[in-house]
Amino acid sequence: MASHAKINSAEELKKTVDHHTALRAADDRVTLTVSAGTCGQARGSLDVIASLENAIQEKGLQEKVRVKVTGCHGFCEAEPNIIIQPQDLFYQHVTTKDAEAIIQETVLKDQAVETLLYKDPVNGQTASKESEIPFYTKQNRLVLGDNALIDPTDIREYFSIGGYLSLAKSLSDMTPEDVIETITASGLRGRGGAGFPTGKKWDFTRKSKGDVKYIICNADEGDPGAYMDRSLLEGNPHRMLEGMIIGGYAIGASEGYVYIREEYPLALKNITRAVEQAHEAGLLGENILGSGFSFNVKVYKGAGAFVCGEETALMQSIEGKVGVPRQRPPFPAVKGLWKKPTNINNVETWANVPLILDRGSDWYAQIGTESSKGTKIFSLVGKINNTGLVEVPMGITLREIIYDIGGGIPDGREFKAVQTGGPSGGCLPKEKLDLPIDYQSLMQAGSIMGSGGMIVMDDKTCMVDVAKYFLNFLRDESCGKCLSCREGTQRMWEIVRNITEGQGKEGDLVLLETLAHAVKDASMCGLGQTAANPVLSTLRYFNDEYLAHIKDKKCPAGVCKDLVEYFIIPDKCTGCMVCARVCPQDAITGEKQQVHILDQEKCIKCGACYEACKFDAILVE
């Protein structure tokens, strides 16, 4: 672990930052920056790193070349990827076999390895630089951008990009009220889902009576398909930590907690190390930078309950109790952790704080829309060519994210819907593609911003099945405290399940909508209050699919097994044999380049043949 001598004042910190910034600028080695967050490691980035280091050692280039291990660069579809400086090259899908060519061609000959350059899946054009890749061109990577610059395990790397200078500025040049005023003027809103104004939240907590106050970072990211907070903690944990310390100073807290789910081992490891390093450097503990302000941070592991993302349930968990929500008011700002005034924000919110203190509230307020300032990070997943983390200014449209950044739908298929806001969000149809992304617009359209999950669906998706999937998740994750949520989500799931199995009745839709509103209105916490969103949004925009399931006993998308049959269209079948190879029941037979036959008695309606066929030769009825 990289450590650092204790820094005793703001002046010493500035000198430390200047020193490490100068070292970074003077380092003229070729740098191979490898993305090694969870997604990169899952695709073999650690093996790539080992291969590169071996190749460098074999050629005796240790003094001229270095491998920098960083967190997620955002472009998950291109993992493992490497950025090479000073050539400013971007390589994607790198394997261990490519290490020799990278050293030989790029390092020694200063030439690009053409096969590793990015190739657009739609138009086939190549790009050699990150700035030329469509995935990055419309992004504004204020929070995520430094992930590709630093080793997240070394505090000196964070110093080299100006790390902790905002903390020094806060402690030496600003009062707590000045800090809160700056955050308020910036327009920053909580990035954890509710979107409450951050400065106002801090002000409430500061003004609450009590000698003991707490700060909490909510890193309990439980939405399916969401991994924004995880990637920030993996790639730049000190930025979030600096934001927390500034927040502690602003509200008058002396202790903070990072509540993180144990299923995030790399993020847990890196934030724990960052806390230890900050203590060693005197940026946590007693009398920070000689200011008289003392603040400590503890890392608390959660057990993965989705409901513990709700702030009152999270505090119950930290206190060692069952993680269930409690009635509000009183709100945490008045009576929170151990009944003391408490301020809770999520990772992304805290990570914005040092940027705002550094560049000013006016700068931040110029980004985004009138009511939704700054940027927002989304995890773009599902039926999309360019999966990954995207950071965009508020007000950008869904179309720009899905088509300009995401590269559109794979295999030329038609876009059908996008769900924003995780399992409690809503599904928006193609008619909403030009909707600007901000808190108000999404809510009016029947969805929410949430923490930032964005799941794209194509025309092979059954929206009734999607509603069933998320209802199943929510009924399992309901803590059971509220009758409306406990029984309501269960009953909604049963109704939708029956519809997908061909047992739906015409009165079901009225009952389903009535029940959805009842659950929304009567539930105590955010889980129950938003659990109806997948139902209400699909009823609103895809009512015809529900009716087809109920009246015609058909699933238009061919997903619901009880309502479909698969047939091979002779005129379109090329005899490629792909469908026969993927069929788990050997229900498809035929010779190569001859029309195949599907045995209905053997068919289990899994849809594997339908998904695999590139010639639309499988008919679903």
In this prediction, residue 501 carries a pLDDT of: 96
What mean pLDDT is predicted for residues 103-115? 95
The closest alpha carbon to 561, from 553, 552, 570, 550, belongs to 553
Alpha carbon distance, N-terminus to C-terminus of the chain: 60
Task: Report in angstroms the alpha-carbon separations of 237 from 143, 220, 242.
Answer: 11, 15, 9
48 burial type by CB count under 10 A (0-12 exposed, 13-18 middle, 19+ buried): buried
Q: Where are the beta strands (DSSP E) in 439-523?
A: 453-458
CB 199 within 8 A of CB 180: yes
Q: Where are the beta strands (DSSP E) in 176-283?
A: 214-219, 255-261
CA 374 – CA 188 distance, rounded (Å):
7
CA 579 – CA 567 distance, rounded (Å):
12
**What residues are paired with 89 via a beta bridge?**
84
Comparison of pLDDT for 569 and 192, the residue scoring more? 569
Quick: pLDDT tens for 382-432.
999 999 999 999 999 999 999 999 999 998 899 999 999 888 899 999 999
Please give the mean pLDDT across all residues of the chain.
Answer: 95
Q: What is the pTM of this model?
A: 0.93
The closest alpha carbon to 225, from 378, 399, 84, belongs to 378
In this prediction, residue 288 carries a pLDDT of: 98
pLDDT higher than 90, residue 533: yes
Residue 468 — pLDDT band, cuts 50, 70, 90? very high
What mean pLDDT is predicted for residues 44-71? 96
Backbone torsions φ then ψ of 12, nearest 5 degrees: -65, -40
Quick: pLDDT tens for 426-437.
999 999 999 999
What mean pLDDT is predicted for residues 301-324? 93
CA 43 – CA 49 distance, rounded (Å):
12
CA 597 – CA 356 distance, rounded (Å):
64
HEC string for 502-556: CCCCCCHHHHHHHHHHHHHHHCCCHHHHHCCHHHHHHHHHCHHHHHHHHHHCCCC
Distance of CA 64 to the CA centre of its chain: 36
Quick: pLDDT tens for 481-495.
999 999 999 999 999
CB 536 within 8 A of CB 455: no
Residue 193 — pLDDT band, cuts 50, 70, 90? confident
Residue type, 288: I
Quick: pLDDT tens for 487-523.
999 999 999 999 999 999 989 999 999 999 999 999 9
In this prediction, residue 3 carries a pLDDT of: 66
Backbone torsions φ then ψ of 174, nearest 5 degrees: -135, 150
What mean pLDDT is predicted for residues 220-224? 86
Q: Which residues contact 329 (CB under 8 A, 6 or more apart)?
A: none
pLDDT higher than 80, residue 133: yes
CB atoms within 10 A of CB 211: 8
Residues in the chain, how many? 621
CA 518 – CA 528 distance, rounded (Å):
10
**Which of helix, strand or coil describes residue 602?**
coil
Residue type, 400: E
| Backbone φ/ψ region at 411: left (φ over 0), alpha (ψ -120 to 50), beta | left
Quick: pLDDT tens for 324-381.
999 989 999 999 999 999 999 999 999 999 999 999 999 999 999 999 999 999 999 9
Task: Report in angstroms the alpha-carbon separations of 481 from 218, 524, 590.
Answer: 22, 9, 57
CB atoms within 10 A of CB 101: 16
Residue 192 — pLDDT band, cuts 50, 70, 90? confident
Task: Report in angstroms the alpha-carbon separations of 440 from 377, 444, 456, 534, 608.
Answer: 17, 6, 21, 18, 40
What mean pLDDT is predicted for residues 54-60? 96
Q: Which residues contact 476 (CB under 8 A, 6 or more apart)?
A: none
Quick: pLDDT tens for 23-38.
999 999 999 999 999 9
In this prediction, residue 1 carries a pLDDT of: 45
pLDDT higher than 80, residue 2: no
Delineate the domains of the chain, giving CATH numbers in brackets. Answer: 10-134 (3.40.30.10), 162-365 (3.40.50.11540), 375-458 (3.10.20.600), 463-552 (1.20.1440.230), 565-620 (3.30.70.20)
Q: Can you give the C-alpha Rg of the chain in angstroms?
A: 26
Q: Which two tokens stand for residue 169?
A: 């500025």
Backbone torsions φ then ψ of 433, nearest 5 degrees: -60, -30
- % of the chain at pLDDT higher than 70: 100
The closest alpha carbon to 219, from 164, 257, 249, 251, belongs to 257
Sign of CA dihedral 299, 305, 309, 315: negative
